[in-house]
A and B are shown apart, each in its own frame.
Chain A
Amino acid sequence: MKFSSRLVIVSGLFLLMFSALGIRLWFISIAQGAQSAQIVEDQTWIEIPTQAPRGEIVDRTGQLLVTSRFVPAVVVDRRFINTDQAVDLQQRLSGLLGMPVGEIQAAYDKAGINARFRLATVTTDTAYRVTEQLSDLPGVSIEKVPERVYLVGPTMAHVIGHLGFPDEADLEARPDLDLNVRIGQTGVEKVYDELLLGTNGDLALRLNRRAEVVEERPPVASVQGDTIHLSLDLQLQELVESALEQGVALSNQVKQQEKSEGIDFKHETERAAAVVLDVKTGAVLSLASYPDFDPSLFVTGVDPDTFALLQQEQAFNNLAVSGLYPPASTFKAITYVAAEEEDLPLDSPNYDSETGLVHCNGRMELPGFEEGSPQVFNDWYTGDKGWLNLHQSFEESCNIYFWTVALGTWRNYKDTDQEDIIQDWARSLGFGEATGIDLTAEASGIVPDRALFDQWKEEQVENPDEPGRLDPRRLELEDGPWVGGDLMNLAIGQGELIATPLQMAVAYSAMVNGGDVWQPYVVSEIERRDGEIVRLTEPTLLRHVDMSPTTTASLLTDLNKVVTTGTAARAFESFGPGLDQVGGKTGTGQTNANNDNHAWFAGVGPLDDPRWVVVVLIDEGGSGGRIAAPVGRYIMQYLMGVEPTPITAGEKAN
């Protein structure tokens, strides 16, 4: 082959090579060009949501309780990290931040491919150290992010609530949530989370592959969440929380003293709750649960040991709305009102139909149901208080009188549509269902009646292997498991009846305000950052219960007698001026042989024109008159503008 022929072949080869380039170039820039252009546009601009600071929370006087500040945070953007850089990066960050590598790796993996996530908020010092090494930390940047600040520590913690990362259920319900941003988990932080969150801003940045910003679009600023005005008063709250703590201490002191006298106790007193309600609106003026916790613990993540300890103490439980207790003698006010309003018939061996009085001699003997052996009902006191009417019985907390009311009702209304007349009153005053307060984990409580017992029986018969709620002997009864004794128990707030301190406060409010059952609330208004009031809480009237003014008036008079000459008289001895303007009722709730009694007190004032109701519960605190009444008195002194006197033991009374 000639040189020139070979040259032609080589030229052909070169031509082929250049043609290949041309064809390939046509393919990628003409055939696929538009697509590539879009990819380029998308990947050079990244949109970064700038998190809005959560809204503030203030008390009824405008006192700032919770706010937000900006702190530096380490943000990692996986788009700028090659796979082979990840391990090295995690180790570097671990060294810089003092975080375990495992934790960083877990966060890294959880965030997912191409994700941008906040690793941790850091101190200014750490932020500087990270900034200095940014060139060795691909994909890492320092940003100012908002962080929650709780200015009053554990005060009002159960109302305010705490934050936590959204779980799967949260993300399902609210797909817009950023799983790196903590949201409200309890309390107002949770109930009003969407208002508190605010509107995130938006920052569009053009970055190079080293995550360096080369261009910015004008940012859309974030808008801080709304300001939540609580109906609670910080000063009152501090006083109430202090009172509860003192009440718990008093209870333990009394327990020790009684132990030395030979009366042993089951548990140390550890828990308590209190509610102060505005009887005319349902506004919560104070709501406290003891023990408490500091919501600050949750701002950057609570350590597991502290969490476990607090959980064991039930510090996260808001006992005022989720604690269920037998209301005991405080419930007698409801029976009292029902008896007055419905003119309930009286009937018992201790009843004298001539005088209409009941013999409160501490003991009532019944032939027993179904003609069995006689049943003896012993009252809480010993001795003979004489023949008493309703008012005197209320003041002395005579169980026998209220049993007589229950027995009369039972015997006269059994199997009629008025059989549940006392329960109906309880329900209409708010027992047996959640009040719907704007807080989390509210309990409903139970108002037992025949229908409920029948239902329990049915469940028990269907599931014989599971522990049932009813005594097995009841299942055999011909007339069903609900018996007269149950109604007798209910009339004095015992048996299966259980309620929250908040329900008790709502019921007392309705009874003293003439029958208005208000829905309690903790948030009175919501204000936007610009000062515009977005929402002013209109009090919600759940229902009006028809009550004659005379019943209300007599109840108020009798409540006053309780604190002047009755079961709470000793606790109120030191009240000072204004004692004639306050009233209350003590209660000592029994559960079972393994627990100490729960101490209750429900108070109201001023009697001329009732404005507030105070309910105090000391969980396993002992006697209501002795332990809870002094705590209630301390709070009521403050509400009446009287200097509170020390919390000392009252009379041991029901």
Chain B
Amino acid sequence: MTLLARPDAPAAIAERRRNRPDLILLAAMIILASVGLLMIYSVTRVGLERSDLPASVSMERQMIFVAAGLIAFLVASLIDYREYSHLVPYIYGVVLFLLGVVFLFPAVKGAQRWIDLGPFQLQPSEFAKIACVIALAGVLSRPRVKLPWLVIGRVLLLVAIPGVLIFLQPDLGTMLVFGFVTLVMLFMSGLSGRQMLVLSGAAALGTFAIFRLGLVRDYQLDRLRVLLDPALDPQGIGWNLRQSRIAIGSGQLLGKGLFQGQQTNFEFVPEQGSDFIFTAVGEQLGFVGGILLVLAYALIVWRLLVIATNSRDRFGAMISVGVAAIIAFHAFINIGMTMGIMPVTGLPLPFVSSGGSSFLAFAFALGIANSVWLRRSPLPAEYRDS
């Protein structure tokens, strides 16, 4: 760090002392959560009414998660993120433990991802993503010119252990998130072109091995096949994808209006409250609604990158970048899936899909980023030269 380079720097520093949270980040999250609540109500009310349940019961349940998420954001903002660097082994340990515990519970729809707490099903893999980001940020917190292979090895080992557990659930989507985040964080930490090539080669080889050894289940293969040839319809996946795509398309420019979705209201689209919720957005709010939703994610990612730039240390920067990678990847894979350009995975749309674990985990992650923002470097980035 050099000396103050510009004469107006003191004023900038004074402005920075005013401890204001990242309101744009918070606002974007609240907007997404609100859209989520409306869409959840929209797609569940018909089915609920037919089952003689109050039409809003699913939405109300999600409202509890949103409220809890806002508290999590607040709590995470108040905790000094630097504390986490000491807590990394504990956080990591707890997450590994929980990832093990899921196997004590019976499979739901062929997968063991949840810990049944009665009214609430905890999904540890959602928290594992954030935990891994913190753990990786810890390992990669020291700025280096070159990234030694030893460090890369530690990073990969840290990711591999929860990765294998999640692979066993199985949850291929979350594994992809791990891979993407790891790659982005390694890159940010000075991964060289050669190292990247070697890692990519190893990843390709590993993927090939997994397929060759038959470790991938048939339905997972089908999901990939159907992406290449939608005319195939193994287990109705092609049908679902097509229904989802035409539902979004049928919204056209401005959508059919809130609660007016035929495709989603009449359950032509599967999992419409959770993984396929973007279908409802596209159908009811149209291209404009969809684009605004995508922009909301872009806004969050932009803010997270700005926070990374302004972090007082590399640890905070790495956390912010990691969280940005998770959110960008989730949005990309999930929305891409509903539009037929990404394979079908169980990745939720952050803050919008119904589900407690994912909302809490993402809200907490943004809270950590906000904590980084609140404790940012006293000197704005543009005044620094390193």
A contacts, CB < 8 Å to B:
1-4, 6-7, 9-11, 13-15, 17-18, 20-22, 24-26, 28-30, 32-37, 39-41, 43-44, 82-84, 206-210, 212, 214
Contact = CB atoms under 8 A, between A and B. Distances in A.
B235 A82 contact: yes
Given A10-B321, A44-B263, A25 B248 contact: yes
B245 interface: yes
A37 to B, nearest CB: 4
B339 A28 contact: yes
Given A11-B305, A44-B263, 18 more contacts: A6-B188, A6-B190, A14-B305, A14-B325, A18-B297, A20-B336, A21-B331, A22-B294, A24-B336, A25-B287, A25-B291, A29-B249, A32-B249, A36-B245, A36-B249, A41-B262, A206-B262, A207-B266
A21 B246 contact: no
Nearest to B317: A3
B184 interface: yes
Given A21-B335, A24-B339, A39-B246, A30 B266 contact: no
Nearest to A84: B235
A21 B336 contact: yes
A561 B247 CA distance: 90
Contacts of B290: 25, 29
Nearest to A210: B267
Interface in B265-280: 265-268
Given A20-B341, A21-B339, A24-B341, A40 B262 contact: yes
Q: Rank and list the top 4 A-B pairs by shortest CB-CB distance, nearest first.
A: A36-B249, A33-B252, A208-B266, A36-B246
A10 B267 contact: no
A21 B294 contact: yes
B339 A30 contact: no
A141 to B, nearest CB: 16
Contact of A29 (B253, B295, B321): B253
B332 A21 contact: yes
Contacts of B233: 82-83
A13 B328 CA distance: 10
Interface in B288-327: 290-291, 294-295, 297-298, 301-302, 305, 308-309, 314, 317, 321, 324-325
B9 to A, nearest CB: 18
B286 interface: yes
Contacts of A30: 252-253, 287
A24 B282 CA distance: 12
A2 B187 CA distance: 11
B50 interface: yes
A26 B267 CA distance: 24
B250 interface: yes
Nearest to B184: A10
B309 A29 contact: no
B251 interface: yes
A208 B267 contact: yes
Contacts, number: 145
23 contacts: A2-B386, A3-B143, A6-B187, A7-B309, A10-B305, A14-B328, A17-B329, A18-B295, A18-B297, A20-B332, A21-B294, A21-B335, A29-B253, A30-B253, A32-B249, A34-B252, A36-B250, A40-B263, A44-B262, A82-B236, A83-B233, A207-B266, A209-B267
B259 interface: no
A18 B328 contact: yes
B239 interface: yes
Given A29-B248, A207-B266, A7 B294 contact: no
Contact of A4 (B187, B248, B309, B325): B309
Interface string B130-153: 000000000000010000000000
A7 B268 contact: no
Given A3-B188, A14-B301, A29 B251 contact: yes
B250 A40 contact: yes
A315 B211 CA distance: 68
B286 A29 contact: yes
B187 A33 contact: no
B287 A39 contact: no
Interface string B320-352: 010011001101100110011100000000000
Contacts of A34: 252
Residue of A2, A6, A28, A41 most packed against chain B (CB within 10 A): A28
A11 B328 CA distance: 10
A212 B335 CA distance: 28
Contacts of B235: 82, 84
Contacts of B249: 28-29, 32-33, 35-37
Interface residues of B, number: 57
B46 interface: yes
Given A29-B282, A40-B250, A214 B336 contact: no
Interface string B169-194: 00000000000000010011010000
A37 B256 CA distance: 10
Contacts of A13: 184
Contact of A17 (B250, B252, B268, B332): B332
A24 B262 CA distance: 22
Contacts of B251: 29, 33
B287 A37 contact: no
Contacts of B265: 214
A13 B252 CA distance: 28
A467 B331 CA distance: 86
Nearest to A9: B187
B359 to A, nearest CB: 21
A209 B328 CA distance: 32
B49 to A, nearest CB: 10
Contacts of B266: 44, 206-209, 214
B332 A18 contact: yes
B245 A28 contact: yes
Contacts of B329: 17
A26 B291 CA distance: 9
A570 B325 CA distance: 113
A18 B336 contact: no
B250 A1 contact: no
A9 B248 CA distance: 31
B38 to A, nearest CB: 19
A22 B297 CA distance: 12
A571 to B, nearest CB: 76
Nearest to A83: B233
A187 B25 CA distance: 82
A36 B305 CA distance: 37
B50 A212 contact: yes
A209 B268 contact: yes
Contacts of A212: 50
Contacts of B268: 40, 43-44, 208-209
A33 B308 contact: no
Contacts of B332: 17-18, 20-21
A28 B248 contact: yes
Contacts of A82: 233, 235-236, 239
B25 to A, nearest CB: 15
A30 B254 CA distance: 10
Contacts of B324: 10, 14
Interface in B217-250: 233, 235-236, 239, 243, 245-250
Contacts of A210: 267
B298 A18 contact: yes
B298 A33 contact: no
A114 to B, nearest CB: 12
Residue of A15, A25, A37 most packed against chain B (CB within 10 A): A25
A84 B236 contact: yes
A7 B308 contact: yes
Nearest to A207: B266
A286 to B, nearest CB: 59
A305 B369 CA distance: 82
B157 to A, nearest CB: 23
A18 B294 contact: yes
Contacts of A206: 262, 266
B291 A40 contact: no
B259 to A, nearest CB: 13
